[in-house]
């Protein structure tokens, strides 16, 4: 056999060990990258869920305001707004009991 082609057993084993070590490092790097991606994904999911919860809270407040406006408009459906932020034709206190009273007088059979 040619001297360049020949390799002793110890050298061959050393090369195999080095290759195995390189594979272990590569696998560890890939696993670490996957773990980082999972953590980042979980953080993004948590941020989205928090934003959705905030939007739901704001939506609830908007729905409550619209419900009050609707009750006031039922009281005086033919009148225009009496001022900025006021429901059409309504000049009461704006609390729930007051608006319920007016709406129920207009529609006594359709109480909330």
Whether residue 28 lies inside any domain: the answer is yes
Query: Looking at the 3D structure of the chain, how many domains does it have?
Result: 1
Whether residue 1 lies inside any domain: the answer is no
| Whole-number pLDDT of residue 79 | 47
> Is a pLDDT exceeding 60 seen at residue 102?
no
The arithmetic mean of pLDDT across residues 38-63, rounded, is 82
Tokens 């129920």 locate to 104
What burial letters (b/e) apply to 66-82, b meaning 16+ CB within 10 Å? eebbebbbbbbeeeeee
Does residue 98 contact residue 72 with C-beta atoms inside 8 Å? no
Whether residue 4 lies inside any domain: the answer is no
Whether residue 67 lies inside any domain: the answer is yes
* Domain region containing 102: 9-106
Whether residue 90 lies inside any domain: the answer is yes
* Burial grade of 103 (CB within 10 A; 0-12, 13-18, 19 or more): buried
Least confident of 1-15, 40-54, 57-71, 82-96: 82-96
Does residue 101 contact residue 93 with C-beta atoms inside 8 Å? no
Whether residue 2 lies inside any domain: the answer is no
The arithmetic mean of pLDDT across residues 41-49, rounded, is 85
Q: What is the pLDDT of residues 4-40, one digit of tens each?
A: 556 676 676 777 777 777 777 777 777 778 888 888 8
pTM of the entire structure? 0.31
């Amino acid at each position: 056999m040619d001297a360049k082609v020949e390799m002793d057993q110890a050298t061959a084993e050393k090369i195999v060990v080095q290759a195995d070590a390189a594979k272990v490092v590569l696998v560890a790097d890939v696993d670490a990258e996957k773990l980082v991606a999972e953590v980042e994904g979980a953080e993004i999911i948590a941020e989205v869920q928090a934003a959705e919860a905030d939007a739901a809270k704001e939506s609830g407040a908007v729905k409550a305001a619209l419900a009050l406006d609707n009750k006031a408009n039922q009281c005086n459906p033919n009148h225009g707004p009496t001022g900025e932020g006021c429901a059409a034709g309504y000049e009461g206190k704006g609390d729930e009991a007051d608006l319920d009273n007016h709406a129920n007088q207009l529609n006594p059979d359709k109480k909330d």
